[in-house]
Chains A and B, each alone.
Chain A
Amino acid sequence: MKHLFATTALAVSLVAGHAAAEDTLKIGYVDPLSGGAASVGQIGLNHLKFIADEANAKGGINREKVEVIGYDNQVNAQTSLVQVQKAIDEGVRIIVQGNGSSVGVAIEDFVAKYNRRNPDKHIVYLNYGAIDPVLTNEKCSYWHVSFDANVNVKMAALTNFIKDQSDIKKIYLIDQDYSFGHAVADAAVKMLKEKRADIEVVGNEFHPLVKITDFAPYVAKIKASGADAVITGNWGQDFSLLLKAAGQAGLKVKWFTYYAGAAGGPTAIKQADLAGQVYQVNEGINNLGYPEADKTIKAYIDRYKDAPVVFPRIFNTAGLLFKAVEEAKSSDPADFIPKLEGMEYKTFSSGGDGFIRKEDHQLFQPLFISSFGPLKDGESFDEENTGWGWTKIGEVAAKDTVVPTTCEMKRPG
């Protein structure tokens, strides 16, 4: 077996530790790269490798070569911490992660403690996708930056859109029964009440995480409630099966989702034949007609034909990081984090204005409401080879997505 040969090499590396090369900007990507969740984890790594290659082709960042190293955390918080330790030993100062808020909180805590206990050596955690609000509220940290809009921000955008849809009278909420699902439901109830008191929340359902094979009973319940729209934070199998069950039962409602665009989502919507009924809120889609983004997306999809899923948030993460590193002329987090605070940035998908709030290190950016259906004229990108793509329905400017934070950040020094 191959590891027999490699074991000795690894044992040596354990003793010696890796010498950190000075002239590379090392990015440690800690996400699932094996097992069931690897489909999304691998896509993120593809993005970073693509971005690194592009940056290196232009001579690197501050003439430093960008190197991306993947660390397989198997979406397990404890494993992640050992992998972060491994990354630190290998000279990585920048940790990128995005799948799973449990992992996100673990890394945020670890990084904060590490920096406190090792005052001469700093690491930073760039979070491109863990969007539980606690990360930038109760547990917020100076050494963490959140590049995806968190649950509350997205719900603010979503409800701003729903506010103007006069045909929506009854809304059903269905979410996975864990902290993220509850955060989505709580935000929806609160914000709908503020913005459209006349909308009735006819159901607030929670179901266990990835335990359900048959969503027909839930669809029957939604149908019986007479809802004309559903808001859900479901992702992965729980999203696909829910939508397919709805399609089979002939449920005609509008679906407002967080993760319809995630891996597997578009395929499920196409199979359920729900053209134009599924909406998502996110930081950007492929068919916005912004030439600069189109060029990059095309190059990316040409390279990764097997998994042609584009995450604009990772482009934003890397873009902001590179900008801060160049401005600080240093790749030490202690030097470039101050540059990130309050930094203004033209976001990847549309070139719209975004900024990082200093108080909680949350990126605010234009958010898009889009719907999924057969490609229209002038739209060039479909999703997962379905022939269907995302169409912009609404846009919410960054300043209109700002929500308050309870963060009391402890700053170093």
Chain B
Amino acid sequence: MLEIVFVSTINGVLFGMLLFLMASGLTVIFSMMGVLNLAHASFYMLGAFFGFEISRHIGFWPALILAPILVALIGMVVERFGLRRVHRYGHVAELLFTFGLTFVIQQVVEMVWGRLPVNYVVPPSLNFSAFTIFSTTYPAFKVFELLTAVAIFVVLLLIIRRTRIGLIVQAALTHPDMVGMLGHNVDRIFMLVFGVGVALAAVAGVIAGPALVTQSNMAGLLGPILFVVVVVGGLGSLSGAFAASLLIGLVQTFAVAFDISLADLFGPLDLDNALGDYLNDIWNVTIAQVAPILPYLLLVLVLIVRPRGLMGMRDT
């Protein structure tokens, strides 16, 4: 039992931090621009492929710097010539613009790198096991993932709390119009914010690419889990997103460990007809079986009970 709790906690924290790594850029963009960037996962994929291509030629560490910069440039171009124009048509148009972008980015990636997974491997400098607990080894790469996530969290938090840009951002959260009236170049701030947001996605791509599968459909397969993190955490709250990532990581990991179904709790159903078949489906489902669906349940519940999310500052 102790082993399960211990190992699940570590796995949960690691997974939670991976989620935060992927979602941090999304929450930055969402909180500062109010745009839910549906193409976030696509920029994450771009990061992974740039990371693959660059690390193949000049190594992983330069890739970790260069790939996000490249993606940030692409992101800023997208913001300057696309999103900014769409902005005046409202949030729905912005959402749909990023939705269209997902098709385009996926096809372009397919054209350049093909449809099969590419061989993006963990760099040798991180390819050793960091520690072993209960005979389970934890690779250094995962620890690096965790440290990067925490570092990003701390740096972003410092920027928001301690710098002038952060001040404007905080003001923009509660009084967006006033900030514009005070003469800040809202357009340029938005462009930078979008660039930084997608760059963070790219960082996640470079780091998660080798651990997961780098393939042209990876953006689509990631699914909407990142939106769950951002929305459950609360609009405009970096700490909220951090807490939500941890929560989702732990909930999902611990759920996997429990093979308990309603049948185990209340005994098997004795209904020998069609209705019995239907009910048995529900009766015999274990918690472990539905673990990856739990975040969505959490999303619905949180939004019903507390629409501003765990630590949000205003209603979404």
Contact = CB atoms under 8 A, between A and B. Distances in A.
Q: Do A's and B's CB atoms come within 8 Å in the complex?
A: yes
Contacts of A267: 116-119
B45 to A, nearest CB: 11
Interface string B87-128: 000000000000000000010001000111111011000000
A333 interface: no
A211 B212 contact: no
A39 B115 contact: yes
B31 interface: no
Contacts of A205: 288
B213 A264 contact: yes
B215 interface: yes
Contact of A216 (B14, B118, B218): B14
Greatest chain B CB density within 10 A among A210, A213, A221 is at A213
Contacts of B138: 248-249
Given A207-B289, A268-B117, A386-B119, A214 B15 contact: yes
Given A207-B292, A208-B292, A307-B114, A217 B253 contact: yes
By secondary structure, the B interface counts as: helix
B36 to A, nearest CB: 20
Contacts of A122: none
Contacts, number: 127
Interface stretch (B60-68, B158-166, B219-227): B219-227
Given A36-B217, A213-B212, A213-B225, A220 B142 contact: no
B223 A211 contact: yes
A208 B290 contact: yes
B270 interface: no
A241 B218 CA distance: 12
B315 interface: no
A213 B18 contact: yes
Given A36-B221, A220-B11, A241-B213, A263 B116 contact: yes
A223 B288 CA distance: 16
What is the size category of the interface that chain A forms with chain B?
35 or more
Given A213-B222, A217-B253, A384-B116, A268 B213 contact: yes
Contact of A237 (B18, B114, B221): B221
Interface in A262-282: 263-264, 267-268, 270-271
A26 interface: no
Nearest to A384: B116
Contact of A220 (B19, B114, B136): B136
Contacts of B220: 35-36
A211 B252 CA distance: 12
A36 B225 CA distance: 18
Interface stretch (B1-9, B73-81, B178-186, B298-306): B1-9
Given A42-B115, A213-B225, A306-B114, A249 B212 contact: no
B258 to A, nearest CB: 10
A206 B160 CA distance: 43
A75 to B, nearest CB: 12
B3 A216 contact: no
B316 interface: no
Contact of A221 (B119, B137, B217, B257): B257
B174 interface: no
Nearest to A42: B115
A161 interface: no
A262 to B, nearest CB: 11
A49 B43 CA distance: 35
Taking residues whose C-beta sits less than 8 angstroms from the other chain, chain B's interface range is 35 or more
A216 B293 CA distance: 17
Interface string A213-248: 110111111011000000000000100110010001
A10 interface: no
B289 A271 contact: no
A370 B261 CA distance: 37
A206 B288 CA distance: 8
B139 interface: yes
A217 B213 contact: no
A306 B132 CA distance: 39
Contacts of B114: 306-307
Contacts of B137: 248-250
B116 A264 contact: yes
A244 to B, nearest CB: 7
Shortest 6 CB-CB contacts between residues of A and residues of B: A36-B217, A39-B115, A217-B256, A250-B137, A211-B292, A214-B15
Interface of A: 35-39, 42, 177, 205-208, 210-214, 216-221, 223-224, 237, 240-241, 244, 248-250, 263-264, 267-268, 270-271, 306-307, 384-386
Given A39-B115, A220-B11, A221-B257, 14 more contacts: A36-B106, A37-B217, A39-B116, A39-B215, A205-B288, A207-B288, A213-B225, A217-B252, A217-B291, A220-B8, A221-B256, A221-B288, A249-B136, A384-B119
Interface of B: 3-4, 7-8, 11-12, 14-15, 18-19, 106, 110, 114-119, 121-122, 129, 132, 135-139, 141-142, 210-213, 215-218, 220-223, 225, 252-253, 256-257, 288-293
20 contacts: A36-B216, A206-B289, A207-B256, A207-B288, A207-B289, A207-B292, A208-B289, A212-B292, A213-B225, A214-B11, A216-B14, A217-B15, A217-B256, A220-B7, A221-B257, A237-B213, A240-B117, A244-B213, A248-B141, A250-B137
